[in-house]
Amino acid sequence: METLKLESQRAHDYRHLIARWRGVARAAGLRLEAFAQSGGYPVYCLRTRNGFAGGLYISAGIHGDEPAGCEGLLRWAARHLPRLMRRLPPLPILLLPCLNPWGLIHNRRTDEAGNDLNRIFNRRDISPVGELQDLLVGRCFDLALHLHEDYDAQGNYLYELNAERTSWGHQLLARCRAALPIDGRRRIDKRRFEAGLYLRQGAVRPIPEHPEALHLYRAHCPHVFTFETPSEFDLKRRVQAQVLLIEECTRRLLRLRRSSRF
């Protein structure tokens, strides 16, 4: 119990998060790179260098009051990243451990200036959104995951943007049910959901909100998920759900890469 209590108290401890990421990066033979400053804090990425096509993009913590994504991504990486990097060729990755450090530290959705960073991917003048767009130039991924949480959620739910594959959404949600139930609401944020999934296939127009997921989908990746765990549920289970989602996505991605297409 003591360990769990300590971890939940530290869910907003950015320094602790990054210290643990340094260990993970070292074990995986990667470098934790500060690519931007936001609210007085460095924003980090881990990446394999260009040269390998495709791979995996995962970002967490763009909303600072949604800590399970940051913790889940770290725990997944600690468990799997060293092995993924030892593969030949290694799985190309771009991982963003926490895009809004000020928000995480202060348990706020926005950055220090009040910007919702997930609504301004049409802007290049706000950190770290502009620098992230620069990091993405010339990169194409097979799969992108955006890790979020929602205070109104009654379980896990998922947005899927899918240009060419069979949908994975329902199977991913089924896998994550080992940690938390699926949100059964039929309407979430004015969109119609079916058993926890909002699926869009084919081309998608820009929307006024300019979220990160749409930026990835329109320019860098044909298969994009935004995963939401319910903020009012137990942190340990939310983190577990986030880990399960990433594990299942990675398993499917590696299977695809082994098949003829890659």
Is residue 63 part of the contact set for Zn ion (CB under 5 A)?
yes
Q: How far is the CB of 27 from Zn ion (least distance, A)?
A: 29
3-state secondary structure (DSSP) of residue 229: strand
| Between 63 and 238, CB nearer to Zn ion | 63
| Between 142 and 150, CB nearer to Zn ion | 150
Select the span of 2-10, 11-19, 57-65, 93-101 touching Zn ion (CB under 5 A): 57-65
| Between 148 and 175, CB nearer to Zn ion | 148
| Between 169 and 211, CB nearer to Zn ion | 211
Q: How far is the CB of 131 from Zn ion (least distance, A)?
A: 20
* x-marked contacts with Zn ion along 93-132 as a string, rule CB under 5 A: ----------------------------------------
Is residue 223 part of the contact set for Zn ion (CB under 5 A)?
no
Contact 76, 39 (CB under 8 A): no
Q: How far is the CB of 145 from Zn ion (least distance, A)?
A: 13
Is residue 148 part of the contact set for Zn ion (CB under 5 A)?
yes
Contacts 24+ apart (CB under 8 A), 19-25: 20/74, 20/78, 21/46, 21/74, 21/77, 21/97, 23/78, 24/74, 24/77, 24/78, 24/81, 24/82
Q: Residue 227 phi/psi, 5° resolution?
A: -105, 135
136 Cβ contact partners less than 8 Å away, ≥ 6 residues apart: 94, 215, 216, 219, 220
78 burial class (0-12, 13-18, 19+ CB within 10 angstroms)?
middle
Q: How far is the CB of 63 from Zn ion (least distance, A)?
A: 4
- Measure the CA angle with vertex 72, ends 117 and 202; round to 5°: 60
Select the span of 63-71, 128-136, 230-238, 246-254 touching Zn ion (CB under 5 A): 63-71
Closest CA to 69 of 77, 61, 78: 61
CA distance linking residue 157 with residue 188, whole number of Å: 9
| Between 25 and 224, CB nearer to Zn ion | 224
Question: How many H-runs (helices) and E-runs (strands) does the chain carry?
Answer: 8, 10
Q: Which residues pair with 229 in a beta bridge?
A: 149
| Between 134 and 189, CB nearer to Zn ion | 189
| Between 66 and 142, CB nearer to Zn ion | 66
Q: How far is the CB of 82 from Zn ion (least distance, A)?
A: 29
Q: How far is the CB of 152 from Zn ion (least distance, A)?
A: 11
Q: How far is the CB of 52 from Zn ion (least distance, A)?
A: 30
Which spans of this chain sit near Zn ion (rule: CB under 5 A)?
A: 63, 66, 148
